[in-house]
Copies of this chain bind each other. A is one copy, B any other.
């Protein structure tokens, strides 16, 4: 429908400079998603010793988003929100007891959730999920049951299924061997390798992605390329191992950077660059307890697992030559959940009207460097609403160290930070801005009044 109307419009206005085939409607979408990448881990986001020339170029040709957030500080809820455009509490893809799904979990993303892959399917797109899924590994929860034509990847975290003989605790990670973790590698619904050879996992995901793009180049496609790295245990291929200044973590990031280069080069080579929107992001902040096997949140406070900004703000780049202005920077507050509504708009599909969606079309941000439609950002940890951002202000109702500390610390009144003046959350301004706190408290009441949390899938 959208395609026809664009054609009609083109004929009516007789614009030979923009033939219908070049109209940027119904583009392809590629989402490249990392695992545990920190805000400060890319050269173009300030890392001093990790080299990311392909990501730097992607930013130079596209848009850097400096206040872009994942929807949760850990993997499963963050990915559920990316897929559905909804807060994880609405799908039950969170838990206050277990942070994520484990190999013995029985739950997964409920079938009645609408995924971004299903949005694209409804628009006639080919869809592929390559990489980490972590939204349920039992047959009924796999990507192929959620709108993806195909799947290739490790279905959960690469540090799960540790074998009995592997070193204990964190000792297994400092000099990791593939056979310490008996993780499966799946194609569609079958395990094709176990343990997955993680040393070549980034390379193989990349090759699959390139193959998919080439195969689907004459149609439209949605590719979700979710790297298993840089989640520990860290593995890099021979081409990258020992080559970075930043040690093994740097090797891994530089291989992901190479992978981004492969994907963008393929799009360029196939003449798809101006027909494809590419997002680069991650699921949550760096896993700081793993020393130099974890990344850096840059100037942000704390990391993975916490609702300080280092746990959820991500180094994000959007790329679409001809549509997104080269070298632009957006400071708008936005979320991985917003990719869902953006996809709907680009595909020309109506949003679902039978459920609450926490997603706001990013078109004004991406294509006009304009204001985000998102007014509020909720920082959840499991079912606990820990903090809320409104404009530049963030009020923490509860804080809790990412790991170790058993109980959250309550703040009444909440502690308050001005994130645009003080991105490191160092100076509590609660006593000077009671009116801001009152306003945010009203928003929270309204949010909670309407919220219907779903039962946890992670506790099944």
Q: When the two chains form the complex, which single residue of B45, B245, B422 contacts A292, counting CB atoms closer than 8 Å?
A: B422
Q: When the two chains form the complex, which single residue of B245, B246, B329 contacts A51, counting CB atoms closer than 8 Å?
A: B329
Instruction: Find chain B residues with CB under 8 A from A418 CB.
Output: 247, 292
Query: For the complex, what is the distance from the CA of A43 to the CA of B297, rounded to whole Å?
Result: 15
B246 and A420 contacting across the interface, CB-CB below 8 Å: yes
The copy count of this chain in the complex is: 2
Query: For the complex, what is the distance from the CA of A40 to the CA of B44, rounded to whole Å?
Result: 12
**Chain A 404-422 per-residue mask, 1 if CB under 8 angstroms from chain B, else 0:** 0000000000000010111
**Chain A 304-319 per-residue mask, 1 if CB under 8 angstroms from chain B, else 0:** 0000000001000000
Instruction: Find chain B residues with CB under 8 A from A46 CB.
Output: 40, 45-47, 298-299
Query: For the complex, what is the distance from the CA of A49 to the CA of B292, rounded to whole Å?
Result: 27
In the complex, A336 has a CB within 8 A of chain B: no
Query: For the complex, what is the distance from the CA of A298 to the CA of B424, rounded to whole Å?
Result: 9
Q: When the two chains form the complex, which single residue of B249, B327, B392, B422 contacts A421, counting CB atoms closer than 8 Å?
A: B249
**Chain A 1-18 per-residue mask, 1 if CB under 8 angstroms from chain B, else 0:** 000000000000000000
Query: For the complex, what is the distance from the CA of A298 to the CA of B427, rounded to whole Å?
Result: 16
A247 and B421 contacting across the interface, CB-CB below 8 Å: yes
Query: For the complex, what is the distance from the CA of A178 to the CA of B12, rounded to whole Å?
Result: 62
In the complex, A195 has a CB within 8 A of chain B: no
B292 and A421 contacting across the interface, CB-CB below 8 Å: yes
Query: For the complex, what is the distance from the CA of A69 to the CA of B338, rounded to whole Å?
Result: 41
In the complex, A426 has a CB within 8 A of chain B: yes
A426 and B299 contacting across the interface, CB-CB below 8 Å: no
Query: For the complex, what is the distance from the CA of A313 to the CA of B422, rounded to whole Å?
Result: 21
Instruction: Find chain B residues with CB under 8 A from A298 CB.
Output: 40, 46, 298-299
**Chain A 163-185 per-residue mask, 1 if CB under 8 angstroms from chain B, else 0:** 00000000000000000000000
Instruction: Find chain B residues with CB under 8 A from A249 CB.
Output: 421
Contacting B at CB under 8 A, from A313-367, are: 313, 327, 329, 331
Contacting B at CB under 8 A, from A92-120, are: none
CB of A215, distance to nearest CB on chain B (Å):
33
Instruction: Find chain B residues with CB under 8 A from A282 CB.
Output: none
In the complex, A296 has a CB within 8 A of chain B: yes
The answer to whether residues A392 and B245 also contact, given A298-B46, A423-B49, A423-B296 and a CB cut-off of 8 A, is yes
Query: For the complex, what is the distance from the CA of A418 to the CA of B56, rounded to whole Å?
Result: 25
In the complex, A139 has a CB within 8 A of chain B: no
Query: For the complex, what is the distance from the CA of A177 to the CA of B114, rounded to whole Å?
Result: 58
Quick one: which of A49, A246, A313, A422 has the most chain B CB within 10 A? Answer: A49
Instruction: Find chain B residues with CB under 8 A from A441 CB.
Output: none
Instruction: Find chain B residues with CB under 8 A from A426 CB.
Output: 291
CB of A74, distance to nearest CB on chain B (Å):
21
Instruction: Find chain B residues with CB under 8 A from A245 CB.
Output: 331, 392, 420
Instruction: Find chain B residues with CB under 8 A from A150 CB.
Output: none
Q: When the two chains form the complex, which single residue of B45, B48, B66 contacts A331, counting CB atoms closer than 8 Å?
A: B48
A40 and B331 contacting across the interface, CB-CB below 8 Å: no
B60 and A48 contacting across the interface, CB-CB below 8 Å: no
Contacting B at CB under 8 A, from A39-74, are: 40, 43-49, 51, 56, 60, 66-67
Instruction: Find chain B residues with CB under 8 A from A43 CB.
Output: 66, 329
A292 and B66 contacting across the interface, CB-CB below 8 Å: no
Instruction: Find chain B residues with CB under 8 A from A247 CB.
Output: 418, 420-421
Ordered nearest first, which 7 A-B pairs have the shortest CB separation?
A46-B46, A48-B66, A247-B421, A292-B421, A49-B420, A245-B420, A40-B299
Known: A44-B44, A298-B298. 15 other contacts (CB 8 A): A40-B46, A46-B46, A47-B423, A48-B66, A48-B299, A48-B420, A49-B331, A49-B421, A60-B60, A60-B327, A246-B420, A249-B421, A291-B426, A292-B422, A297-B299
* A to B CB contacts below 8 Å, 16 in the list: A40-B46, A40-B298, A40-B299, A43-B329, A45-B46, A46-B46, A46-B299, A47-B423, A48-B67, A48-B299, A48-B420, A49-B421, A49-B423, A245-B392, A247-B420, A296-B299
